[in-house]
């Protein structure tokens, strides 16, 4: 244990350095080391003040996540904190790297904090559906006040050392590379000036102003209502800060503990912790070990400067990779370039980019007509119309133009990558790279593996995703791959259900209340009913609406009517068209259904489709399906995604309901063999 501690005394200042690679996580060994050494330093008469430092790349980066879900060995963090507070002499936390979660809470127990300018400080527990459970909710407001504390803890976003100095989280900035010397000098000054070592728990000034003023907390809740919707942790954090303001410290700590335990036991937090690990799992591919060579992407090509091509191009520009952008006509090219420029200028207007950065990024584009300019790129991504004949034609041409050893990728949403690959003489160099709209924003990248795709390409796709800020999910070839395939079944059920009684608004409310940003019909109205209905020949409600020139939000409304501010109200015209279509199909109206019934109808088929995707080997693991839905479709994180949610509901319940639907509506609802097997064996998709 001693090998993680070094202890020096310099001119009356005890310097305790913890060295527990890789990130000085607050595991049991570190906790013991802190507890023992603080006790020793407190008793050592030579020591007038104590500097707490970490060796290696960072200050305590947080809890030891390998201890999650296990009984915590003593001393626990609050025990260690009591020891630090009882030292009876000033303690100075000297911070570099990242002081996150329990790491920052450790610093908050100290009497003073000093950090190098590159340090980042934050309490990100909210992202795991938790709250800072070692006194952070009680101490931070006493240092920075209610507003800053609420903001930091409910957003989970780390702040820079500069901001931390400005709002009082830290007391001084150290010089880069001189943290130890500067911290010791700071400690010496404290001692020389005889500044009292007031414990943070005893500070009152910053919280007094909010005492007995519940309206401050109500306003904060209201301001963030949209962002907090469905999550349990933000509200628990607010309650803790209210307690910090209105109750004695120890009672506040008791509130924090109770809230923490409630969160820890909640499905929402379990889901968020699952998602945290699931996101890190997606790049583990059994037959593509980390040693698989990757190909350098120094120059990319994008074909098609439409909705997707433009967004895809921006991803590369943002990462500093030059792009040759090809179109069929000058007009289409100019339009595409114009949209990219406008997007960047909007970012600049919000202060996210400087005008020089806008020009620098745009300068990385080489616009081109035709495909010949792609001869020297390392990767081509095709994003032209979704038509097999067009794609095959392009890939055939690329085969003759693009240099050997370059990756040929398609952004197709539904088409067969193997058929596209067969249009070339090098199918092993072809893969799918499926972005989600808007491609410069959505974090999912489906890396689609064709029958012959080389392993190097898969490894490169996974790596590329990360370098452009995406999370990759590997998919084999099928109609719609993972995310689109799974979400399509919900659309089919919504369209069927609306003929049986529930209105678009009733169905949408269920989807919204589940946690999506909008309902199925609102989403269709937003995308445009003409776009959604493209290529469909049989009669549909959608098509009937388009025939009445109701194209959605953009023209005359669709399933809803819209006012000037785009607020939807149920449309009598749509209701009449739905009734007419139901009569044409001979479907009887049985009136409204309960929210539970609607949710089961829409979501159980998704769980079932996920099971099929797994048994067909399209996705490697259930958690990849969850990540695809969360990152590609905004599936609410606190449900854990469809598969985790299915496990929460209980697979036997889902199977029973699907069988009921199967008897009533037909084979679409037949439970997948894997789903039935897991249900029979009392197993689950995501919890063993």
Out of 7, 55, 172, 332, the residue judged to bind ligand NAD by CB under 6 A = 332
The one among 266, 413, 453, 503 contacting ligand NAD by CB under 6 A: 413
Per the rule left: phi > 0, alpha: psi between -120 and 50, beta: everything else, 155 is alpha
CA 647 to chain centre: 21
Q: Strand, coil or helix: what is 228?
A: helix
Q: Which residues, in sequence order, are CB contacts of 188 under 8 Å at separation 6+?
A: 11, 12, 13, 49
Q: Does 433 bind ligand NAD (CB under 6 A)?
A: no
The CB-of-522 to ligand NAD minimum distance in angstroms stands at 16
Peptide bond into 438 cis (omega under 30): yes
Q: Are 494 and 517 in contact (CB under 8 A)?
A: no
Q: Which range binds ligand NAD by CB under 6 A, 69-77, 238-246, 321-329, 561-569? A: 321-329
Q: Which of 9, 42, 65, 328 binds ligand NAD (CB under 6 A)?
A: 328
Query: Using the rule CB under 6 A, which residue among 394, 409, 458, 629 binds ligand NAD?
Result: 394
Select the residue interacting with ligand NAD from 411, 503, 520, 593 (CB under 6 A).
411
What SS3 state is found at 411?
coil
C-alpha to C-alpha distance for 228 and 231, rounded to whole angstroms:
6
- Told to check if 69 binds ligand NAD by CB under 6 A, we report no
Instruction: Tell me the C-alpha to C-alpha distance, in Å, between residue 287 and each of 290, 293, 637.
Output: 10, 13, 29
* Residue closer to ligand NAD (CB basis): 54 or 465: 465
* Residue 5 or 384 with smaller CB distance to ligand NAD: 384
Residues in contact with ligand NAD, counted by CB under 6 A, come to a total of 23
The C-alpha atoms of residue 336 and residue 333 are separated, in whole angstroms, by 5
Among 314, 384, 499, 545, binds ligand NAD (CB under 6 A): 384
DSSP labels, 47-83: -SEEEEEE-TT-S--SS-GGGTTSPPPSSPHHHHHHH
Instruction: Verify binding: residue 240, ligand NAD, rule CB under 6 A.
Output: no
* 105 belongs to the catalytic site: yes
Q: Which is nearer to ligand NAD, 101 or 309 (CB)?
A: 309
Q: Which stretch binds ligand NAD (CB under 6 A): 188-196, 430-438, 597-605, 663-671?
A: 430-438
DSSP 384: -
Quick one: 179 or 629, whose CB is closer to ligand NAD? Answer: 629
Q: Collapsing DSSP states into helix, strand and coil, what is residue 468?
A: coil
Query: Rule CB under 6 A: is residue 408 a binding residue for ligand NAD?
Result: no
**Under rule CB under 6 A, residue 366 binds ligand NAD:** no
Does 308 engage in binding with ligand NAD (CB under 6 A)? yes
Considering the rule CB under 6 A, would residue 437 count as an interface residue with ligand NAD?
yes
- The dihedrals phi and psi of 318, each to the nearest 5 degrees, come to -60, -30
> Does the protein bind ligand NAD through residue 303 (CB under 6 A)?
yes
Measured from each CB, the residue nearest to ligand NAD is: 306
Contact between 305 and ligand NAD (CB under 6 A)?
yes
Query: Is position 253 an interface residue for ligand NAD (rule: CB under 6 A)?
Result: no
Point out the catalytic residue in the list 10, 82, 105, 676. Answer: 105
Copy the structure tokens of residue 77: 């963090």
Q: Does 582 bind ligand NAD (CB under 6 A)?
A: no
Nearer to ligand NAD, 121 or 482 (CB): 482
Whose Cβ is closer to ligand NAD: residue 435's or residue 581's? 435
Specify the stretch interacting with ligand NAD by CB under 6 A; choose among 18-26, 46-54, 382-390, 418-426. Answer: 382-390
Q: Confirm or reject binding of residue 258 to ligand NAD (CB under 6 A).
A: no
* Measured CA distances, 538 to 91, 411, 544 (Å): 75, 27, 10
Alpha-helical (H) ranges within 590-680 are 595-615, 622-633, 642-649, 651-665, 673-680
Nearest to 259 by CA among 246, 244, 274: 244
Is 385 a binding residue for ligand NAD by CB under 6 A? The answer is: yes
CB atoms < 10 A from the CB of 51, how many?
Answer: 28
Q: Residue 629 corresponds to which tokens in the numbers above?
A: 């839905």
How is residue 244 written in tokens?
């910090």
Q: In angstroms, rounded to a whole number, what is the distance separating the alpha carbons of residues 107 and 168?
A: 13
The reply on whether position 304 binds ligand NAD by CB under 6 A is: yes
Burial class (CB in 10 A: 0-12, 13-18, 19+), 389: exposed
Per the residue annotation, which of 45, 67, 125, 386 is the catalytic one? 125
Whichever of 336 and 558 has its CB closer to ligand NAD, that residue is: 336
Smallest gap, in angstroms, from Cβ of residue 114 to ligand NAD?
A: 49
Cα atoms in the Cβ-side hemisphere of radius 13 Å centred on 137: 32
CB of 369 to ligand NAD, least distance (A): 8
For position 417 contacting ligand NAD by CB under 6 A, the verdict is: no
Instruction: Give the interface segment with ligand NAD, choosing from 157-165, 353-361, 379-387, 643-651 (CB under 6 A).
Output: 379-387
Do 377 and 407 contact (CB within 8 A), yes or no?
no
Q: Are 107 and 90 in contact (CB under 8 A)?
A: no
| Catalytic site includes residue 345 | no
Among 14, 90, 309, 642, binds ligand NAD (CB under 6 A): 309
Binding span for ligand NAD by CB under 6 A among 257-265, 267-275, 326-334, 579-587: 326-334
Cα–Cα dist 626/636, whole Å: 10
Binding residues vs ligand NAD (CB under 6 A) = 303-309, 326-328, 332, 383-386, 390, 394, 411-413, 435-437
Tell me which residues are annotated as active site.
Answer: 105, 125
């Amino acid at each position: 244990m001693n090998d993680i501690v070094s202890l020096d005394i310099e001119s009356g200042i005890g310097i305790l350095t913890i060295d527990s690679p890789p990130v000085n996580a607050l595991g049991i060994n570190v906790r013991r080391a802190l507890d023992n050494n603080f006790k020793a330093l407190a008793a050592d008469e030579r020591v007038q003040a104590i500097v707490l430092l970490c060796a290696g790349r960072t200050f305590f980066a947080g809890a030891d996540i390998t201890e999650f879900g296990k009984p915590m060995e003593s001393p626990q963090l609050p025990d260690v904190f009591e020891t630090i507070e009882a030292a009876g002499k000033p303690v100075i936390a000297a911070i570099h790297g990242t002081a996150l979660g329990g790491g920052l809470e450790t610093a908050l127990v100290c009497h003073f904090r000093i950090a190098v300018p590159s340090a980042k400080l934050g309490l990100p527990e909210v992202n795991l559906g938790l709250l800072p459970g070692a006194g952070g909710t009680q101490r931070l407001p006493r240092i920075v006040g209610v507003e800053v504390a609420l903001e930091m803890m409910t957003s989970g976003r780390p702040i820079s050392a500069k901001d931390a100095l400005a709002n009082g989280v830290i007391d001084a900035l150290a010089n880069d590379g001189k943290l130890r010397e500067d911290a010791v000098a700071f400690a010496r000054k404290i001692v020389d000036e005889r500044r009292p070592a007031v414990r943070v728990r005893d500070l009152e000034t910053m919280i007094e102003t909010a005492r007995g003023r519940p309206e401050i907390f109500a306003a904060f809740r209201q301001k963030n209502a949209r962002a907090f919707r469905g999550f349990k942790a933000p509200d628990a954090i607010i309650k803790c800060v209210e307690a910090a303001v209105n109750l004695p410290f120890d009672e506040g700590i008791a509130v924090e503990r109770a809230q923490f335990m409630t969160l820890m036991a909640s499905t929402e937090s379990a889901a968020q912790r699952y998602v945290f690990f699931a996101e890190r799992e997606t790049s583990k591919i059994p037959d593509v070990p980390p040693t698989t060579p990757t190909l350098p992407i120094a120059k990319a090509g994008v074909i098609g400067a439409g909705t997707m091509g433009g967004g895809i191009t921006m991803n590369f520009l943002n990462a500093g990779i030059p792009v040759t952008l090809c179109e069929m006509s000058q007009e289409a090219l100019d339009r595409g370039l114009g949209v990219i420029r406008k997007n960047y200028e909007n970012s600049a207007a919000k202060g996210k980019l400087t005008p020089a950065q806008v020009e620098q990024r745009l300068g990385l584009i080489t616009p081109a007509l035709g495909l010949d300019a792609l001869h020297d790129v390392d990767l081509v991504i095709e994003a032209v119309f979704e038509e097999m004949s067009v794609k095959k034609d392009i890939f055939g041409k690329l085969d003759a133009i693009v240099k050997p050893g370059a990756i040929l990728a398609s952004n197709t949403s539904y088409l067969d990558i193997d058929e596209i690959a067969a249009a070339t003489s090098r199918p092993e160099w072809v893969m799918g790279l499926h972005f989600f709209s808007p491609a410069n924003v959505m974090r999912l990248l489906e890396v689609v593996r064709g029958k012959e795709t080389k392993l190097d390409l898969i490894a490169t796709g996974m790596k590329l995703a990360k370098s452009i800020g995406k999370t990759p999910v590997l998919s084999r070839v099928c109609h719609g791959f993972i995310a689109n395939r799974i979400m399509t079944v919900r659309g089919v059920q919504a369209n069927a259900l609306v003929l049986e009684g529930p209105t678009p608004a009733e169905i949408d409310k269920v989807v919204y209340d589940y946690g999506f940003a909008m309902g199925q019909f609102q989403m269709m109205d937003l995308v445009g009913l003409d776009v959604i209905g493209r290529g469909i020949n049989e009669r549909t409600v959608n098509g009937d609406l388009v025939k009445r020139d109701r194209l959605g939000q953009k023209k005359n409304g669709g399933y809803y009517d819209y006012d000037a501010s785009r607020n939807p109200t149920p449309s009598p015209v749509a209701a009449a068209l739905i009734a007419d279509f139901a009569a044409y199909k001979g479907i009887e109206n049985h009136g409204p259904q309960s929210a539970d019934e609607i949710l089961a109808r829409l979501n159980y088929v998704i769980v079932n489709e996920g099971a099929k995707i797994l048994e067909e080997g399209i996705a490697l693991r259930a958690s990849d399906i969850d990540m695809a839905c969360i990152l590609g479709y905004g599936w609410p994180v606190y449900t854990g995604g469809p598969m985790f949610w299915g496990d929460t509901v209980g697979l036997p319940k889902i199977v029973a309901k699907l069988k009921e639907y199967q008897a009533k509506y037909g084979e679409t609802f037949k439970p997948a063999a894997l789903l039935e097997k897991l249900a029979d064996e009392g197993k689950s998709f995501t919890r063993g």
